Amino acid sequence: MANTYTKLGSYMIPLGSGGTGIGFSSIPQTYNTLVLHVSVRSLYASGYDSLGMYLNGVQTNLSNNFMNGTGTGTSSSRSTYRAISTINAAYNNPNMFTAVTITIPNYTSSTFKQIMIESFEEGQQTAGYGVLASELWSNTAAINSVTFDTATSGVNLAPYSTFTLYGLKTS
């Protein structure tokens, strides 16, 4: 029987190193939807950080809107930057990671890509962050790579951060 929720790749940043430019390349073009499950934190020492994501090595033509909840307040914001969610950093308990799910329907289409993002970070600090977001990548190219980094220059993603990519077929 066909397994239509197929793991295409998985990577964990090993202990003793930090990661930047982590991701998946040469993504097969034979699925309909991509789903990424990410457990991540940053080595940023001063506070929370943001997870950056970009497609096909391109960081332009991005437009995001965010619904944010902190446990004490809500807000909505937008950007044209690659940061897609707030994540735990060295400021938080070292064992706490942020859960992020990213869904990209019709990733091989010649239309723009409307990306669904769900992210929840709890760090036992004064606030946690729940983020639901839409990202429009105004590019008609099929997606063949996904890359993650921190949105803070020169800061790496932390060891034990894991990234798994799944492909979902329609038949």
Residues binding other proteins (CB under 8 A): 1-5, 32-33, 63-68, 74-78, 103-106, 109-112, 114-118, 132-136, 138, 140, 168-171
Using the minimum distance from each CB to other proteins, give the nearer residue, 46 or 114. Answer: 114
Using the minimum distance from each CB to other proteins, give the nearer residue, 32 or 145. Answer: 32
Using the minimum distance from each CB to other proteins, give the nearer residue, 1 or 15. Answer: 1
CB of 114 to other proteins, least distance (A): 4
Residues 6+ apart with CB under 8 A from 76: 65, 66, 67, 68
CB of 27 to other proteins, least distance (A): 17
Using the minimum distance from each CB to other proteins, give the nearer residue, 97 or 137. Answer: 137
Residues 6+ apart with CB under 8 A from 23: 145, 146, 147, 148, 163
Q: Are 39 and 99 in contact (CB under 8 A)?
A: yes
- From edge to edge, which strands make up the β-sheet containing 162-168? 5-12, 162-168, 33-40, 98-105, 113-121, 129-137, 62-69, 74-79
CB of 154 to other proteins, least distance (A): 29
Q: Give the Cα separation of 101 and 107 in Å (integer).
A: 16
CB of 96 to other proteins, least distance (A): 24
